[in-house]
Every structure is written in C-alpha cells, then in structure tokens.
C-alpha cells in the first residue's frame, strides 16, 4: 500500500496526463497544490514527437521531477490505443500498490482507453476535444460542425494542423472514438467541461454524447499578490490605445490574423507582445509593435503588465478555446479584453460588461478596435466593472470537484475542519452551525437578487444593441439576396445549356458501349478510346493524346512527329494491349509500387504505342500483353541495340495455343471467332519471344513460360491493391449496413466466361440454400444461373457488372465470398488471387477452390477456406453460416493479411528485389551515372550534415560519375553569383570534379536526383528528367520544429512522396521503414579522422597502477543530454568510490557540483579524441537521435554507457559494445559502478566497441552509397 496515504488517512486519486506541459500541466499543478485533503498522484505518458506513449511515468507529486516508477511499453502508443497489455499491467500495479480510489483524466494522449475500464470512480476533464478530435482543437479551415469518417479522412490528409500523430489514420481513429464513447457510457464516467461551449460542441459533433453526464466546472485562477495596475488616462488627447497580446503567437492563437490587421490599426494603437515566444521575432523592429518579453512567469506577470499599463487585451484565437487561462489572467489584472466570439469566450464574456467579442475576421477586428479607440468610455466602463467583481478561486474549483469525485470517504469541508479544531460541545456545535447556515442563506439571497437585477439590466442593454444590429444586418442581407438571385438566374441558363450538351454525349457513349458489349476484346480498341475520350475517363497518370486517336486503327505504330515528344527522362514506361481490369492491375498498380521504391514511371493509355518516344525517354519498357507487329519487332531490336530493356508482362495464360481447349469461352466460340482468338494468342507468344525477360502474376504462369522459354528470366510480381482501392475500402468500411438478419453468399463473376468455375460450388450451394432459408446468393456481373439453382430463385439476388470503385461498398453487404475455379485446368490455375484480397480488404472471409494462387493467399481455416470437392464446399459454407464468431475472426485475419501483404506500398521492397533479379547489372553497366545533388545553402559551421553530402558528391565524382551539385542561393548565399557560390563551396567543403551550379531552375537530365533535406524533396519530386528520385535522410527533420509550426507538417509530408529514401544510420531506417512499411536502406555515418587516427591502448583498462576515470559529455542547456541525471549518477558513484577520477567536457564554464571534477571545457575534435583515449569510461545521453559521441568514444577505446532509449538501442549492442541504462540516476550509477569495479568487463566492452566503430570511415560510407545507386539504376546486380 501507499504508505503516506495510509498514515495520513487521505484517499488517493490518480491524475492522468501527457508530458507536454501547457495548460494541462498548470491545471494539475493548481489542483494538487490546493487539494490538501487528498493525495494526488500523477501518471504521465512520455515519448518522442510522433510517439507520445513509449513509457509511463508515475510521480508522487506534480512538483517532483523524478518519477517513482517507470513502465516501458513493448508496443508504444502512437496517439491513443483502444487497449495495450503493458499499459493494463502498469495500471493494475498502480491501483493496487498505491490504493487508488479515483481517477481524474486530463489527457488521453499517449495513454490507452484501458484507463476508463478500471471500475473506479473516473472523471474526464475536457481541457480540449481529444480523443474525439485528433487535431485537438476541432479546427479544419474553420471550426468543425461535423466530423464523420469522410471528414476525418480529409482532415488527416489535408489539415495542416492535424499533424501530431503522423502514424494515425481515419480508419484507426474511428474505433478509438467508438470505444471511448462506449466506455464512458458503460461506466457512467462524468465529463467535466471548463465551459459550456465544450459540451455544446462535443454534442454537436457526436450526438450520442448528449446521453453522457456532463458537469460544468470552470477553472480557478490566481495571481501573486500585486498592487492595482494604474491605467493611463484613456481620454488623454491624441494618445493611442495600448493593446496587450498576452501569450504565444502561433497559428491557432491568431498569428495570421495579427499579421493581417496590425498595419491597419497602428494609427490608433500601439501593440505590446508579452510571452510571444520566438515567433514574436517576426515583428521585431516594426514601428508600433513592442516585444516586452518572449517568455514570462506568473510571478512576474503583474509587474510586467504594470509597466505597460495596457488599455485593452487582445485574444485572437481562431479555434474554440475550452477555457483560456489568458482571459482569466487579464481579468484578474482588470484589463478589458477583446476576444474572438468562439468557444469559451462566448460563454465567459458578456459584450460591453466584462469585455468585448468580435468575429475572427480582418475587417471586423479592425472596425472593432477603431470603435473602441473612438468610444473609450466603453473601455472605462468594463475596467470599472472588473475592479468591482470577485474572481473564481482555486479553492472554489477544487470544492466543486469534491462534489463530482465523492470517493467512498468524502473529505471534510473547510468549515467542518475548523469546527473540529475548536473542540466545541455538541450543543454549541449545533447552535453555531445553525447560525452559520442562516447567515449564509441570507447572504446568498441578497447576492441572488443583486445578480438578477444586474442580469436584467445587461439583458435590456443587449436587446437594444441586438435590435440595432439586426436592422443593419437585414438591410445588408436584402441587398446580397438580390445580387445572388441575379447570379443564380445566369447560372441556371448556363447549366441548361451544359445539360443539353451532356445528354448528346451520353447518347453517343451508350451507342459505343452497346457496340463494345456485342464484340470481342480484340475488336474494341478504337471504340474504347472514343468512349474514354467522350466520358473524360482518362486518368492523370495515363499518357494519352486525343489527336493520336485517328491513327490507332492503322498498323503503323511509329510516330516521328516532334510535337509528340516530351522533354522527359524516366526509368520505366508501361504500355498495354489489353484495356480493362488487367491493365489497371498490371500497369497502374505495378507502376505505383515502383514509384514507392523511387523510380520515375509513366503509364501509357492502352494500345498507344509511340515507340520512338519510348526509346528516347525510358530505360525499361514493360509491354503488358502487347500483340506482335512488325513495328514491335523493330522496336525491341532498337531497344536492345541501345542497351534498353523491353520486358513482356502478362497475368493470363494467353501465349500457348495448345491449351486453348481448356478455355471454356473459347470452346463456345464460332469458327471465325476461334481463328481470331488463336491469332491473338500466337501474336502474344511471338511478342513474348522477342523480349529478354517476363513479369507474371502467379507461379503457374512462371512455370509455363520457363518450360516454353527456358532461356528467359521470369519473375513474379503479384497483383496488388492500389492506394485508391484502399481508400475506397476505408470509405466502404464506414458505411452503415442495416442488419436484416440474412446471410449473403456472393459470387462476383464479371463476365459470362466463368460458368465452369461456378459449377465447382453449385452442388454445395443448392444444399445450403435448401437447408437455410435465410441465406441469400448474391450474383454480381454476367452469369447465367445454373438449372440446379433455379428452384431457389427467391433466394438469389442479382446485381449488374459494376465499376471497381463501387465494389467495396457492395462487398460490405456480403457475409461470405465465393472464389471457385475449375480444377485440373492450366488456364484457371494461372489466375491470381485477387478475388480473395478484394473481399479481405473489407473483412469478408473467402471460400475458394484449393487451386492455383488461392493456395498462396489463403491458409485454410485461418484467413479463409480452401475446398477440393463438393462436400468440402458444403461443409465450409455450413461452418461459416452457423458460426458467426469464426466468420468474424476469419474475416479479420483476412483483412490483416491483405493489409500486410497485398498493398502496393507493402510490396515495394519485394518488387524492387524482383526487378533487381530481372535486370540488375544489365542496364548500361559500363556507363557512368549522371547524378544530381539538390541542396539548399550549405552551412559550413554546423555538424557533419553538409560535410557528409559533399563527401558523397566528391567521392562519386572521383569514381568517374558525372556529378552536379545544385545549390540554392538563399540565406547567407542570397545574392551570390554562380562564381561566388562555387567559391564558397570549394573553400568550405573542398574541390573536386563535381560541378557546382547556382539554383534549382535548370537541373539537367540525370540517372539519379538526390534530395538532401525536406525542402529539396519537393524539388526532386517534381522533376521529369530523372530516372530515380532519391531522398538522403540524415535526421527526422519534423522534430526540428514545434508540432504547431507549419514546417513540421511540410517536413513530415516529404516521407510520403514517391522518393527512394536512403537513411543515415540504422535507427532512422527502422523508424521510416516502420512508418511507411517499406524497407529502406541505410549507410553508416562516418567518424572524423581524429578519432580513427590511431588505435587505442585497450590494456589501460586492466592497469592496477592507475585509478579509473570517467569522461562525461556534459551539456547543461540541452535537455536531451540529461545533464541533471548524469550529475546525480556521478554523485552517487563518487560517494561509493571517491577514487574514481571524473572529467566533464562540453561546458563553456565550470559550475559547482556535489563532487570534485576536472572541467575540460569545449573541445576540438582532436582534443576530444585525446580526452577519450586517456579515459576509461565514457558517459553520454542521447534521449532523441543518437549522438556520434558514443561512437567516437568507442573508436578511442572507452567503455561506453548510454541511455536505454529506442534510438540508441537500435544502434548499439547492449552488453557487448555498450552498456545501456534507464535514463535515471540509480540505473546509470549502477552501470558505471559495474564497469568501475570490473576491469575485465570494461575491457571487453571497450574492445567490442572499438571493433564496431573502427569501420565507420568516410570511404566506407561513400562506397556503400555508390553501391546503392548502382543497384537502384540496375548498373549492378
């Protein structure tokens, strides 16, 4: 049990919060300081940006900086999780060990919803709109009025301020919302809102919250005792208003509004910024704007405000504040406030009484400030009112919470405690109590009457103002309505004309479609082009030229018209002779995968064969089911002569005439159609024979080609789900489907050619439909219902053939999906498993034939069922019909499997390897690469970042590659000429054969273009004249900014661009690989030559004649260096072993510490190396990105101790090359003491560390980088 609470007989309540500070930290601190009747423990989530819940930290008090307990979460919480096993265990331990009676939740960020499921008295304090709103402030361009799944999708994609949880998505957030709502309803959790606006907004966004118990408890706020601020005479002639803007200047606090209005009001007001943060520097040296202080403490606030003596406080929030401590502070200081009419400001400010409200719009703000400047008596009136009122105290707030959080033993009130202290007799106690009650009742009655009178006066004044404003608004609205009516009339005439035009085009389209449906696919090409042109169905990713339409029926496929040529240079082009779903899956989806890898790819419209253009602009041309022509033969020959590759691509067994008898549709054709079909198959085979290699979709196709063409390389690239399909499925999963108690078994046919496939399960279906009247058979597409199923026609639902975009919505109505294939048939065995993954994408289980690719997709009994005979079909269907739990589990496992294996992005790594196998080492292997490095203005004085880039560029140039470096002349290079930019680079980074260019405007054609930081990623992404787009990532750059900085989101978004990421160091690769589900390569960062210049003397660790020494990398002003913990650990070590010599480096000046030490100061690279070589143990902390100092110390023979955090653990071998310790003083001191007392272990760690670090050379880094570029451009295998 928690000893203090037991001894003091205080009930224990647990505050749950994040570790980001801000208003929540202040509220918990205020509450805990004021609440002396209960013990207030604090549970904080802790992590790094983007992963707020890596660990849980329990504090005995909000004032204590060192946690009592720490729990690492095996599965970190990236935002909020529905459940987390480690979190549940930690929570149980806290509740049981510390005898917790109640839970007060201030934030769910970094926490699990398990916190709502403890059966303890639980209260949620709505400091913001999380977890309902992942953007926290219910703002997306404007204050949100609704937020369904579709809105949430757009918010995650497009809202620049929904950027705190980069790994979250709309599909993950909806279960969080639903679980949150379910838990607070089930456990009758009270939601406490600091203002009524919070309750109103939440119920508007989620009506189900109207059934939840809300309690409105405004925060209390107090300031240090201060003398009244003396305001200057408002009516002093010609004096400008003094406007105070208190607090941080960020976007949601109205930064952009201030930028829009300040120049318009400087003639009537001076603006004072207090606590504006670094953003305030944007207004530095601007006349009329005064930066009083970027930061302030509450203790200093009255004094600072008194120095300004402001007339008006300005609150410009564009998001609905839930309370606003800033408003409370200004009111306590008796400063009238002008605030935007959003959120709690609407609740707390009465116009003209205790402040003023205004629409958050430029002109309205300017007009209101000018009005207050002209009518200053309005300000004086509010100021007088503020002087005469009492303000809500912290004690009042806490006592209100006592009424909500009652506990099993409610604490005594203040009055009860005082009476007990007097030791009065019972009778005296009763009389005193009666007198107090009567007096209190009279006071309350008097106060109520005064409040009613004041409220009536305010209401009358408000009604008069509203009447005036209403008349003005009515006049304005009348004028606008007249104007809108005239515009609407004009638009109606235009719409009618467009409708007539569309009806004409629709009639043409219907006629063409009718012709297509009565023909065979090889006759449809010209009609298909016309339909897509008329209906505007050509996607942006397709290369399509309407003016080439007339030539499509000609045999000639060469085009020498220079007007067709584009100035492009890319790696891949996809051409196709087969429109439809095959074209979509085998061209567009495969191209999407390659773009994820980093390749520049184009997809041409089906049957558009611009061979000369293809030879000019691409290295690899993928010919998807392109039939043989003489022109195609010439094209392949020319490509071979140029060192290019033409790869045949097929997803169907359409190249072997000896197997045509196995195709049911072929056997039903008349003689003429059979001859046409055979001719098509022969042409496919001949085209395939001309190509060096082949890409197929299934194992059976690979076997058939290898047997027919043993000399050809063949790889499998399975059909995959595109990002567009994934998004359609996400939308479909959110569709509400009424439960009509029917079970639907569906077969998606597509065409009439699947009768024999469907026959595999007809017997089973007839039995099932007969046995289960509530089962329905859904048939989608063209399928003639077999005679055996005709008696069950009332149980059969037919749907027409649908576009692929509509299929996920229809699948949502399906209970069981059917995927039968004719057995013992090479043609069907060659088919892919797309029927499985299309259903699995919406969690529908599939029963399929135990045949072909379904054996790859489905593990029988786990994520679906495989059947080999009619009885197995019947048994499988019956089991799923009668066992809803199994059905649900199987559907969920199918969904998990599909998302893990079949999305285009998850296939990027595997597809990249397949293409390496196919053409690696065969694309112009002897030709040097053309490489473009794209840089911003390089900074010479910083760390290794830009030096590494120039190392790489110089090395590649020395290896004979054509290297161009494009430098943006910005910042310190602004206004530089090309010659000056070149001189700067050569002076600071050395000369080489690489050519330095000024600017990004004229980047020449290249094999590889390399972005070197997040702004240049956007430049490389837009290039059309490079074959591979690389992104060299040295840091997780979003962490360079605050989460509410627009640059944070822009930097984060670059990791979603179609660029091939190459990371500096293993951990960064792990982070981005996990984020994107693509395995990214990495190169090891190099160490400065000073640390590798000579081998360390490792025998020093076992020398009994010298005392052990510890070298600590001490950076007191950098939080991630954990200076305080290092000092505490060294102090504990010194107390146990005072003979150990302690040295510190990195501090400019020595400071007083509780142990003797030698301060080496700030060292050069060479000096640091010597200090490390003369020390035995090196101590450093890297709480975010790992620092190079630990590897530098390894290279110099130190046994190293570092923080046990993910970025470090991913880069060293704990217990072998380095000792990792939890970043607290006890764990660190124990690790140090172990090394001090065990010289053998110390030498083992130092020796292993040296062996791992000595290879971190510049040459090795550059060689690995060149190897990666050669692989990506297929120069090497």
Interatomic CA distance for residues 835 and 902, integer angstroms: 12
Q: Is 467 within a domain? A: no
Task: DSSP letter for 64, please.
Answer: -
What pLDDT sits at residue 947? 87
Residue 446 has pLDDT above 70, yes or no: no
Span 63-102, pLDDT tens digits? 998 899 999 998 889 999 988 888 998 999 999 999 999 9
Burial of 1159 (0-12, 13-18, 19+ CB in 10 A): middle
Span 641-667, pLDDT tens digits? 999 999 999 999 999 989 999 888 888
Contacts of 1191 (CB under 8 A, 6+ apart): 1087, 1253, 1256
What pLDDT sits at residue 337? 97
Residue range 140-164: mean pLDDT, rounded: 89
Q: Pairing relation of β-strands 693-696 and 645-650? A: parallel
Residue 440 has pLDDT above 60, yes or no: no
Confidence of residue 544 (pLDDT cuts 50, 70, 90): very low
Task: DSSP letter for 506, please.
Answer: H
Alpha helices in 642-736 (DSSP H): 664-667, 671-690, 699-708, 723-733
Between 288 and 226, whose confidence is greater? 288
Give the lowest-confidence range in 260-269, 436-445, 932-941.
Answer: 436-445
What pLDDT sits at residue 524? 47
Number of domains in the chain: 7
Q: At what angle do helices 762-771 and 870-882 cross, to 10 degrees?
A: 40
Contacts of 378 (CB under 8 A, 6+ apart): 352, 356, 372
Span 1021-1051, pLDDT tens digits? 999 999 999 999 998 888 878 888 888 899 9
Measured CA to CA in angstroms, residue 228 lies from 271, 309, 353, 383, 441 at distances of 22, 10, 20, 12, 32
Between 409 and 371, whose confidence is greater? 371
Note whether 514 and 527 are same-domain residues.
Answer: no
Burial of 1064 (0-12, 13-18, 19+ CB in 10 A): buried
Give the lowest-confidence range in 451-465, 636-650, 893-907, 1180-1194.
Answer: 451-465
Give the lowest-confidence range in 323-337, 419-433, 1075-1089.
Answer: 419-433
Choose among 880, 808, 887, 819: nearest CA to 853: 819
- Tokens 């670059």 label which residue? 1054
DSSP 1064-1105: ESHHHHHHHHHHHTS---EEPPPPPHHHHSS---GGGGG-TT
- Domain containing residue 286: CATH number: 3.40.50.2000
What pLDDT sits at residue 181? 94
Residue 422 has pLDDT above 80, yes or no: no
Is residue 1059 within 8 A of residue 1031, CB to CB? The reply is yes
Residue range 1243-1263: mean pLDDT, rounded: 94
Span 109-118, pLDDT tens digits? 999 999 999 9
Confidence of residue 1095 (pLDDT cuts 50, 70, 90): very high
Is residue 581 within 8 A of residue 624, CB to CB? The reply is no
Residue range 394-418: mean pLDDT, rounded: 70
- Tokens 């707390």 label which residue? 348
Is residue 694 within 8 A of residue 858, CB to CB? The reply is no
Span 985-1008, pLDDT tens digits? 999 899 999 999 999 999 999 999
Choose among 203, 202, 199, 231: nearest CA to 218: 199
What pLDDT sits at residue 926? 85
Between 254 and 466, whose confidence is greater? 254
Residue 411 has pLDDT above 90, yes or no: no
Residue 611 has pLDDT above 90, yes or no: yes
What pLDDT sits at residue 243? 96
Span 559-595, pLDDT tens digits? 333 223 345 789 999 999 999 899 999 999 999 999 9
Question: Structural domain of residue 988, as residue ranges?
Answer: 921-1078
Characterize 342-380 residue by residue with b for buried, 16 or more Cβ atoms within 10 angstroms of its Cβ, and e for exposed: bbbbbbbbbbbbbbbbbebeeeebbebbbebbeebebbb
What pLDDT sits at residue 284? 79
Is residue 957 within 8 A of residue 963, CB to CB? The reply is yes
What pLDDT sits at residue 5? 43
Note whether 590 and 665 are same-domain residues.
Answer: yes
Residue 881 has pLDDT above 70, yes or no: yes
Query: In angstroms, how far is the first alpha carbon of the chain from the final one?
Result: 64
Note whether 1024 and 1120 are same-domain residues.
Answer: no
Is residue 1251 within 8 A of residue 1206, CB to CB? The reply is no
Mean of the per-residue pLDDT values of the chain: 87
Interatomic CA distance for residues 206 and 200, integer angstroms: 10
- Domain containing residue 968: CATH number: 3.40.50.11090
What pLDDT sits at residue 752? 63
Q: Is 1052 within a domain? A: yes
Note whether 679 and 774 are same-domain residues.
Answer: no
Q: Pairing relation of β-strands 1006-1011 and 1026-1033? A: parallel
Note whether 555 and 639 are same-domain residues.
Answer: yes
Residue 513 has pLDDT above 70, yes or no: no
Q: Where are the beta strands (DSSP E) in 548-661?
A: 570-576, 601-604, 618-624, 645-650
| Domain-ending residue, one of 494, 518, 542 | 518
Residue range 1052-1062: mean pLDDT, rounded: 96
Residue 412 has pLDDT above 90, yes or no: no
Contacts of 631 (CB under 8 A, 6+ apart): 555, 556, 557, 558, 609, 611
Confidence of residue 1149 (pLDDT cuts 50, 70, 90): confident
pTM over 0.75: no
Q: Is 171 within a domain? A: yes
Q: Is 910 within a domain? A: no
Note whether 249 and 342 are same-domain residues.
Answer: yes
Residue 1206 has pLDDT above 80, yes or no: yes
Q: Is 567 within a domain? A: yes
Q: Is 1269 within a domain? A: no
Q: Is 581 within a domain? A: yes
Residue range 732-737: mean pLDDT, rounded: 81
| Domain-ending residue, one of 699, 716, 733 | 716
Burial of 1200 (0-12, 13-18, 19+ CB in 10 A): buried
Note whether 765 and 899 are same-domain residues.
Answer: yes
Is residue 623 within 8 A of residue 691, CB to CB? The reply is yes
Dihedral sign of CA atoms 760, 766, 772, 778 in order: positive
Phi, psi torsion values for 646, nearest 5 degrees: -110, 120
Residue range 771-790: mean pLDDT, rounded: 92
Note whether 892 and 934 are same-domain residues.
Answer: no
Q: In what order do the strands lie in the sheet with 241-246?
A: 289-293, 269-274, 241-246, 312-315, 337-340, 356-358
What pLDDT sits at residue 409? 43
Note whether 152 and 277 are same-domain residues.
Answer: no
Residue range 1163-1188: mean pLDDT, rounded: 90
Confidence of residue 394 (pLDDT cuts 50, 70, 90): very high
Characterize 205-239 residue by residue with b for buried, 16 or more Cβ atoms within 10 angstroms of its Cβ, and e for exposed: bbeebeebebeebbbbbbeeeeeebebeebeeeee
Q: Of all residues in the chain, what percent carry a pLDDT higher than 70?
A: 85
Note whether 1114 and 996 are same-domain residues.
Answer: no
Residue range 386-396: mean pLDDT, rounded: 92
Residue range 174-178: mean pLDDT, rounded: 88
Is residue 365 within 8 A of residue 261, CB to CB? The reply is yes
Residue range 739-750: mean pLDDT, rounded: 89
Is residue 56 within 8 A of residue 45, CB to CB? The reply is yes
Dihedral sign of CA atoms 846, 698, 721, 544 in order: negative
What pLDDT sits at residue 509? 54
Span 965-981, pLDDT tens digits? 999 999 889 999 999 99
Note whether 66 and 209 are same-domain residues.
Answer: yes
What pLDDT sits at residue 483? 57
Residue 686 has pLDDT above 60, yes or no: yes
Residue 557 has pLDDT above 50, yes or no: no
- Domain containing residue 89: CATH number: 3.40.50
Span 488-499, pLDDT tens digits? 665 666 666 566
Q: Is 424 within a domain? A: no
| Domain-ending residue, one of 1013, 1046, 1078 | 1078
Note whether 531 and 631 are same-domain residues.
Answer: yes
């Amino acid at each position: 049990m928690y000893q203090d609470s037991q001894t003091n007989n205080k009930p224990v309540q647990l505050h749950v919060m994040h570790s980001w500070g801000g208003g929540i930290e202040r509220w918990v601190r205020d509450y805990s300081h004021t609440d002396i009747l209960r013990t207030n423990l604090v549970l904080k989530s802790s992590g790094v940006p983007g992963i707020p819940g890596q660990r849980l930290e329990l504090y005995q008090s909000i004032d204590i900086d060192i946690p009592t307990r720490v729990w690492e979460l095996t599965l970190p919480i990236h935002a909020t999780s529905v459940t987390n096993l480690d979190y549940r265990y930690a929570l149980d331990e806290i509740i049981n060990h510390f005898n917790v009676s109640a839970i007060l939740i201030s934030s769910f960020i970094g926490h699990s919803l398990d916190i709502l499921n403890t059966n303890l008295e639980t209260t949620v304090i709505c400091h913001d709109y999380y977890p309902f709103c992942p953007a926290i402030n219910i703002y997306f361009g404007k204050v949100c009025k609704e937020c369904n799944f579709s809105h949430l999708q757009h918010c995650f994609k497009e809202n620049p301020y929904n950027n705190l949880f980069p790994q979250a998505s709309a599909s993950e957030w909806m279960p969080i919302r639903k679980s949150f709502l379910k838990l607070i309803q089930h456990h009758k959790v009270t939601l406490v809102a600091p203002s009524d606006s919070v309750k109103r907004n939440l119920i508007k966004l989620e009506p189900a919250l109207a059934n939840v118990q809300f309690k409105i408890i405004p925060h209390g706020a107090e300031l240090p005792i201060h003398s009244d601020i003396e305001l200057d005479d408002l009516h002093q002639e010609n004096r400008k208003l003094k406007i105070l803007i208190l607090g941080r200047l960020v976007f949601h606090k109205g930064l952009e509004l201030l930028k829009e209005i300040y120049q318009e009001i400087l003639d009537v007001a001076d603006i004072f910024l207090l606590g504006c943060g670094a953003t305030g520097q944007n207004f530095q040296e601007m006349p009329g704007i005064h930066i009083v202080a970027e930061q302030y403490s509450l203790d200093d606030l009255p004094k600072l405000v008194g120095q300004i003596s402001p007339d008006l406080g300005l609150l410009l929030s564009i998001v609905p504040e839930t309370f606003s401590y800033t408003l409370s502070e200004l009111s306590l200081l008796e400063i009238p406030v002008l605030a935007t009419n959003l959120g709690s400001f609407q609740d707390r400010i009465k116009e003209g009484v205790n402040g003023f409200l205004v629409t958050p719009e430029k002109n309205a703000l300017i007009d209101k400030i000018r009005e207050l400047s002209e009518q200053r008596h309005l300000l004086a009136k509010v100021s007088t009112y503020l002087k005469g009122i009492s303000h809500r105290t912290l004690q009042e707030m806490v006592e209100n919470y006592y009424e909500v959080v009652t506990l099993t033993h409610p604490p005594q009130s203040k009055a009860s405690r005082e009476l007990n202290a007097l030791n009065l007799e019972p009778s005296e106690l009763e009389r005193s109590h009666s007198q107090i009650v009567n007096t209190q009742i009279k006071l309350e009655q008097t106060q109520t009457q005064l409040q009613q009178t004041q409220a009536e006066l305010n209401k009358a004044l408000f009604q008069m103002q509203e009447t005036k404003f209403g008349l003005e608004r009515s006049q304005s609205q009348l004028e606008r309505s007249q104007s809108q009516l005239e515009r609407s009339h004009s638009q109606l005439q235009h719409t009618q004309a467009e409708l007539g035009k569309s009806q004409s085009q629709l009639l043409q389209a219907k006629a063409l479609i009718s012709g297509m449906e009565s023909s065979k696919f090889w006759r449809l090409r010209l009609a298909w082009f016309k339909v897509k042109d008329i209906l505007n169905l050509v996607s942006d990713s397709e290369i399509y030229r309407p003016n080439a339409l007339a030539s499509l029926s000609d045999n000639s496929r060469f085009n020498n018209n220079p007007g067709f040529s584009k100035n492009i240079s890319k790696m891949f082009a996809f051409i196709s002779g087969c429109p439809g779903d095959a074209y979509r899956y085998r061209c567009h989806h495969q191209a999407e995968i390659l773009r994820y890898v980093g390749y520049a790819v184009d997809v041409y419209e089906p049957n558009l064969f611009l061979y000369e253009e293809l030879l000019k602009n691409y290295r690899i041309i993928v010919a998807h089911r392109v039939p043989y022509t003489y022109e195609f033969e010439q094209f392949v020959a020319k490509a071979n002569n140029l060192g290019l590759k033409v790869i045949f691509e097929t997803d169907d067994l359409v190249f072997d005439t000896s197997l045509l008898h196995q195709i049911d549709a072929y056997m039903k054709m008349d003689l003429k159609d059979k001859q046409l079909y055979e001719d098509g198959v022969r042409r496919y085979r001949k085209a395939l024979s001309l190509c060096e290699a082949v890409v197929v979709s299934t194992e059976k196709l690979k076997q058939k080609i290898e047997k027919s063409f043993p000399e050809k390389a063949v790889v499998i690239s399975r059909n995959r789900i595109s990002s567009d399909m994934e998004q359609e499925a996400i939308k479909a999963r959110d569709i509400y489907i009424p439960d009509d108690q029917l079970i639907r078994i569906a077969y998606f046919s597509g065409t009439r050619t699947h009768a024999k496939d469907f026959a595999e399960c007809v017997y089973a279906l007839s039995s099932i439909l007969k046995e289960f009247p509530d089962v329905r058979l859904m048939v989608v597409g063209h399928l003639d219902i077999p005679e055996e199923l005709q008696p069950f026609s009332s149980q059969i639902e037919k749907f027409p053939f649908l576009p692929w975009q509509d299929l996920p919505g229809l699948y949502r109505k399906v209970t069981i999906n059917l995927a039968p294939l004719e057995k013992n048939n090479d043609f069907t065995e060659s088919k892919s498993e797309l029927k499985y993954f299309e259903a699995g994408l919406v969690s529908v289980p599939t029963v399929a034939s135990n045949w072909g690719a379904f054996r790859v997709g489905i593990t029988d009994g786990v994520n679906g069922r495989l059947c080999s005979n009619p009885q197995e079909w019947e048994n499988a269907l019956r089991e799923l019909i009668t066992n809803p739990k199994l059905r649900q589990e199987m559907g969920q496992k199918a969904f998990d499997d599909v998302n893990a294996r079949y999305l285009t992005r998850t296939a990027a790594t595997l597809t990249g390897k397949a293409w390496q196998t196919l053409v690696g080492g065969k694309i112009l292997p002897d030709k040097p690469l053309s490489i473009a490095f794209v840089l911003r203005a390089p900074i010479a004085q910083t760390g290794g970042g830009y030096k590494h880039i120039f190392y790489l560029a110089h090395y590649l140039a020395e290896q004979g590659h054509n290297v161009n470096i494009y430098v943006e002349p910005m910042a310190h290079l602004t206004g530089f000429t090309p010659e000056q930019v070149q001189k700067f680079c050569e002076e600071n980074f050395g000369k080489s054969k690489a050519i330095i260019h000024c600017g990004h405007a004229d980047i020449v054609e290249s094999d590889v273009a390399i972005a070197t930081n997040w702004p240049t990623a956007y430049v490389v992404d837009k290039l059309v004249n490079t074959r591979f787009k690389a992104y060299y990532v040295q840091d997780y750059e979003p962490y360079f900014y605050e989460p509410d900085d627009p640059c944070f989101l822009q930097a984060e978004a670059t990791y979603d661009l179609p660029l091939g990421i190459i990371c500096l160091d293993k951990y960064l690769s792990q982070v981005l690989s996990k984020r994107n589900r693509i395995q990214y390569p990495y190169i090891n960062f190099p160490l400065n030559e000073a640390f590798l210049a000579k081998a360390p003397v490792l025998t020093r660790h076992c020398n009994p004649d010298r005392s052990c020494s510890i070298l600590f990398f001490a950076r007191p002003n950098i939080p991630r260096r954990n200076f305080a913990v290092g000092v505490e650990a060294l102090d504990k070590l010194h107390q146990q072993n005072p003979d150990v010599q302690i040295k510190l480096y990195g501090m400019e000046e020595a400071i007083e510490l509780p142990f003797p030490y030698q301060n080496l100061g700030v060292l050069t690279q060479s000096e640091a190396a010597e200090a490390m070589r003369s020390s035995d143990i090196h101590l450093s902390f890297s709480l975010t990105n790992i620092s190079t100092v630990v590897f530098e110390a390894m290279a110099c023979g130190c046994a190293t101790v570092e923080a046990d955090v993910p970025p470090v653990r991913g880069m060293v071998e704990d217990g072998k090359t380095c000792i990792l310790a939890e970043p607290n003083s006890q764990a660190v001191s124990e690790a140090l003491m172990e090394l001090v007392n065990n010289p053998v272990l110390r030498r083992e760690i130092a020796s292993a560390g040296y062996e791992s670090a000595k290879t971190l050379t510049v040459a090795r880094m550059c060689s690995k980088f060149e190897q990666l570029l050669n692989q990506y451009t297929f120069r090497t295998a």
